[in-house]
Chains A and B, each alone.
Chain A
């Protein structure tokens, strides 16, 4: 009997869990997960959990560089407004993490079991790929997925494999988000990778709503204080959540 897995299941039993996933790295999962969580936290208390043990960019995005407090109830969150943030990075600081595959699941179960999540809505930032993080999340909760891709053939190809896995595992995919599709200019929208028809095609094939997000060069200025960013991407993510 694994008490931490049981505790994790108990903690997430009645919560709405929204997992931001992609089979491909570098598509903007952490940024989108953070913007989703920030938008949701305007209406209700929300938790954001970074399951990317090795990257844990969430803390960097919010400019958090201290360690989690630990109480009788477990790991206490970092608080940003109405948002509670949890990350393994908040236990180890700047230390690199290297883990054999078998230990990954134990670390993730421990994080999810010990995170003192009080909020009813939880956004999960996941690492790229279909590794232990997906399996652990499935053991613990019933997540709804927001799948992120770039409008490139390579990205869509691997995201299609992930879609097949998710549907095969009966995990609900709420939206397919095509990130970094275009730039807004005074002359209209510029599509540096071409019109994202390939993503539209996958959306139609699988019956999933596709959202198209722009590149916002302004975002880089907020890469260590994303909570202060109120540009077009935050607004577009808000529209996705409201639609």
Chain B
């Protein structure tokens, strides 16, 4: 549901950039972590609706969903989300659709541990960011 808030954030960020640079934006490249489980279709729908009222109404949104590699800062083990599926499944089951990882993916270290040594001290690229703008 909060895909709309994120789309609003993208439109206003890009709009401000476009006005500062005095450039027309044709394409926006948004990168999201797969662990956020954000719905790309919903992001596109929201972006295309919100942009109509903005100065970037001609911009198209492209969303790249990044798969995460996690690195344990304690033992150095590198692993994927799939390797800790049994840790994450209960989060989805217990909290439902609006679970903490969907809303704030950076909370993953509260729920995930290194499958090798059990440490929560994990490095993971969990940010939502605009990676590029085409004018």
Q: Name A70's contact: one of B1, B46, B128, B129 (CB within 8 Å).
A: B1
Q: Is the CB of B109 within 8 A of A100?
A: yes
Q: Is the CB of A95 within 8 A of B1?
A: no
Q: Which residues of B contact A96 (CB under 8 A)?
A: 110
Q: Which residues of A contact B107 (CB under 8 A)?
A: 88, 91-92, 97, 99, 103, 107
Q: In the complex, which of the residues A4, A75, A113 has the most CB atoms of chain B within 10 Å of its own CB atom?
A: A4
Q: Name A72's contact: one of B5, B126, B129 (CB within 8 Å).
A: B5
Q: Which residues of A contact B73 (CB under 8 A)?
A: 100
Q: Name B128's contact: one of A4, A69, A75, A100 (CB within 8 Å).
A: A4
* Size range of the chain A interface in the assembly: 20 to 34
A127 to chain B, nearest CB (A): 16
B 4-60 contacts with A by CB, 8 A: 4-6, 8-10, 12-14, 16-17, 30, 46
Chain B 102-120 near chain A by CB (<8 Å), digits 1 or 0 = 0110111111000000001
Determine the residue in chain B with the shortest Cβ distance to A107.
B106
Q: Name B120's contact: one of A98, A102, A114 (CB within 8 Å).
A: A98
Q: Is the CB of B13 within 8 A of A103?
A: no
Determine the residue in chain B with the shortest Cβ distance to A54.
B110
Bound-state CA distance A212–B95 (Å) is 43
Q: Which residues of A contact B12 (CB under 8 A)?
A: 6-7, 10
Q: Is the CB of A75 within 8 A of B123?
A: no
A215 to chain B, nearest CB (A): 34
A4-B9 contact given A75-B103, A106-B126, CB 8 Å threshold: yes
B43 to chain A, nearest CB (A): 11
Q: Which residues of B contact A102 (CB under 8 A)?
A: 123
Chain A 160-193 near chain B by CB (<8 Å), digits 1 or 0 = 0000000000000000000000000000000000
Q: Is the CB of B110 within 8 A of A92?
A: yes
A116 to chain B, nearest CB (A): 8
Q: Which residues of B contact A107 (CB under 8 A)?
A: 104, 106-107
Q: Is the CB of B6 within 8 A of A3?
A: yes
Q: Which residues of B contact A2 (CB under 8 A)?
A: 13, 127-130
Judge whether B62 is part of the interface by a CB distance below 8 angstroms. no
Q: Which residues of B contact A26 (CB under 8 A)?
A: none
Q: Is the CB of A1 within 8 A of B129?
A: yes
A 41-95 contacts with B by CB, 8 A: 67, 69-75, 88, 91-93, 95
Q: Name B106's contact: one of A3, A73, A95, A103 (CB within 8 Å).
A: A103
Q: Is the CB of B104 within 8 A of A72?
A: no
Judge whether A152 is part of the interface by a CB distance below 8 angstroms. no
Q: Is the CB of A72 within 8 A of B109?
A: no
A83 to chain B, nearest CB (A): 22
A3-B103 contact given A70-B98, A74-B2, A95-B111, CB 8 Å threshold: no
What are 12 contact pairs spanning A and B, CB under 8 A?
A3-B30, A3-B129, A6-B9, A10-B9, A72-B5, A73-B5, A75-B2, A75-B103, A88-B104, A98-B120, A99-B109, A103-B107
Report which B residues bind A (CB closer than 8 A): 1-2, 4-6, 8-10, 12-14, 16-17, 30, 46, 73, 95, 98, 100, 103-104, 106-111, 120-124, 126-130, 133
4 smallest CB-CB distances across A and B, nearest first, come from: A7-B9, A3-B9, A72-B4, A106-B106
Report which A residues bind B (CB closer than 8 A): 1-4, 6-7, 10, 67, 69-75, 88, 91-93, 95-100, 102-103, 106-107, 110-111, 113-114, 116
Beyond A1-B17, A92-B110, A114-B2, 10 additional pairs, beta carbon < 8 A: A2-B128, A2-B129, A3-B30, A7-B12, A67-B95, A72-B2, A91-B107, A106-B104, A110-B106, A111-B104
